[in-house]
Chain A
């Protein structure tokens, strides 16, 4: 078992004719992902990496039975691409694009509440169920199949933690990169809910970072609702207030909310061990399993 992505996931790639879209479509196909269509306005009838391209997501979904979309569309048009995928509709939208205006995402988020679709991202590396399929830009070779669920706000940090897990034989059910933007579709709690309901996920690793209060809310959720053990990691302990650390959402406010310490305290109060290093995260997971 897994969450969000499995053997039945049939992907339409939005922006498949662009450089990134084409390259990662090839990578996804190579990994075994069922990429069944591309969608680019005006490019219907073409083929990319053997995948048929349609002018609209609706047509791609209808003709090829696509039930998931991956968005590689440039920031100015990415919110529109998300609306299109939500309206098609598909069950899962993974938005890779970085730099979407926040007010655009606020509107997409508003629309999302009216649908049954899961939106992952934006500004995220994607979702992978090792050995089955990946939707996004995650390097497939570092993942291995197993019983650990992983949810993270950061791409390369996910790779680092997964690498530490895989090297100890701790494989993953599914890894979800939820993205580093202020407004994202799937937050920690949504991902934790999915893992809690998955019988094959025996432990969850949650990688957070400074900014916002999602980790604190997730900690409350873990304390109140989860039987599956969770191990935490929080990046940005040394970040000064008022400075944006790369991700649009990674900022400790001037008044001191969003600090790493507040998140670490919240998780530990919920009984969730927090690793000081990625290696210690793997130690904790090993202890649990």
Chain B
């Protein structure tokens, strides 16, 4: 789960990290009022959860009320990389001499947290990491003890941060780590952490992503979660409780288990088709989930044929077959041809139950995928 910039800044500010004066606005008038109150220059920043907002025109620096109005009119309501902008953060523009980067994330390879500092802030840190990995100082943290003050200092000095602000930056990093640990962060980042002419540091941007599996014990953060209006189908998948990712192709895919569904996508590609989606109905799926899954895939106008692949461990083939029959029976005309392959627990019983007037049955994964790719080609609109 991702927090918006304004939410992350509130969380950071409450913990004592300096942030610029700012106000959230939903209308042009409110944005101008906020700008007047804060005092120019101010930045007007789209509150959507995508990177590269500045380049995409979602952040504008303004010097007076007229410019503020113009910028707010441009940004509010704009479509930014697929996200509708309905709020802006109006924020004091910080006069800086230097831009730093500080961040905390989980190093999955090491199984432990890592704190990072770089003097090359203000740009995409993943690019810096790729071009010049030595430009980022990294300090692994023992999760049993948390970050010790010396570790923050070490990272700051290793990164080559100006010694006049070193203590303050180390303080920000320590606070950021503590927040990350206390709030079940997956990533916490300040980029840039600006250094002013008076040698003060201030968090000009804020990223805080929370481990979705830990939201049960972070009720305050869970409440901040907002519907991401990214894609209607993905929203629908959320309601149904499916792991779903929409892709560009025309072969709809339903299966159980992440690895097997990914493999089914890969096979569609291997046999010359293009996958329309990733849809994992999970373990132990029964009739209702099967119906919902078919509804999901049929709702995607790009889909021309469907492959339904189940390898039952805890999922039972007979129950899945029952679900498929029931779901398809409800249609006067089945919208797309469906190829089914069942294996594992109660698969043979399932194959016998399946109504072959409604679906095509194949015995192997390879055959099922090839058949669905064929159908999709034939039926492609």
Q: How far is the CA of A113 from the CA of B96 in the complex (A)?
A: 45
Chain B interface extent, by class: 35 or more
Q: Cβ of A246 and Cβ of B269 under 8 Å apart? A: no
Given contact pairs A110-B112, A160-B260, A214-B109, A277 touches B344 in the complex (Cβ within 8 A): no
* B-chain residues with CB within 8 Å of residue A239 when the two chains form the complex: 245, 262, 265, 278
Looking at B108, B255, B268, the one whose CB has the most chain A CB atoms below 10 A away is B108
B275 on interface, CB distance cutoff 8 Å:
yes
Residues of A with C-beta under 8 A to B106: 102-103, 106, 182-183
- The A226-257 residues at the B interface (CB cut-off 8 A) are 233, 235-240, 243-250, 253-255
A214, B261: Cα distance in complex, Å: 21
Interchain CA distance A107-B144 in the complex, whole Å:
6
A137 contacts the other chain (CB 8 A): yes
Whether A210 sits at the interface, judged by CB under 8 Å, is yes
Residues in B neighbouring A109, C-beta threshold 8 A: 111-112
Check B261 against A246 for contact (C-beta < 8 Å). Answer: yes
> Is residue B150 within 8 Å, beta carbon to beta carbon, of the partner chain?
no
- Give the contacting residue for B108; candidates A163, A183, A244, A260; CB below 8 A: A183
Are B127 and A255 in contact, CB atoms less than 8 angstroms apart? yes
- Chain B residues with CB under 8 Å of A248's CB are 213
User: Which of B308-316, B353-361, B373-381 sits within the interface?
Assistant: B308-316
Of the listed stretches A32-40, A54-62, A86-94, A147-155, chain B binds A147-155
Q: Mark A257-281, 1 if CB is under 8 A from B, else 0.
A: 0001000000000000000111100
Beta-carbon contact of B314 and A137 below 8 Å? yes
Report the Cα distance A99→B171, complex, angstroms.
33
Q: For residue A157, which residue of chain B has the nearest CB? A: B259
Q: Is B250 an interface residue (CB 8 A)?
A: no
Contact B258 A103 (CB under 8 A): no
Residues B130 and A255 in contact, CB atoms below 8 Å apart: yes
- Is B94 on the interface with A (CB-CB < 8 A)? no
Cβ contacts A190-214/B at 8 Å (1 or 0 each): 0000000000000000010110111
Measured in the bound complex, the distance between the Cα atoms of B266 and A235 in whole Å is 7
Per-residue CB proximity of A133-163 to B under 8 Å, as 1/0?
0000111011000000000111111111001
What are 11 A-B contacts defined by CB distance under 8 Å? Answer: A103-B113, A110-B143, A154-B262, A160-B263, A183-B111, A233-B263, A238-B247, A238-B268, A240-B247, A245-B245, A245-B261
Task: Apart from A102-B211, A244-B243, list 8 A-B contacts with CB within 8 A.
Answer: A103-B211, A139-B313, A154-B257, A156-B257, A237-B269, A246-B259, A278-B366, A279-B366
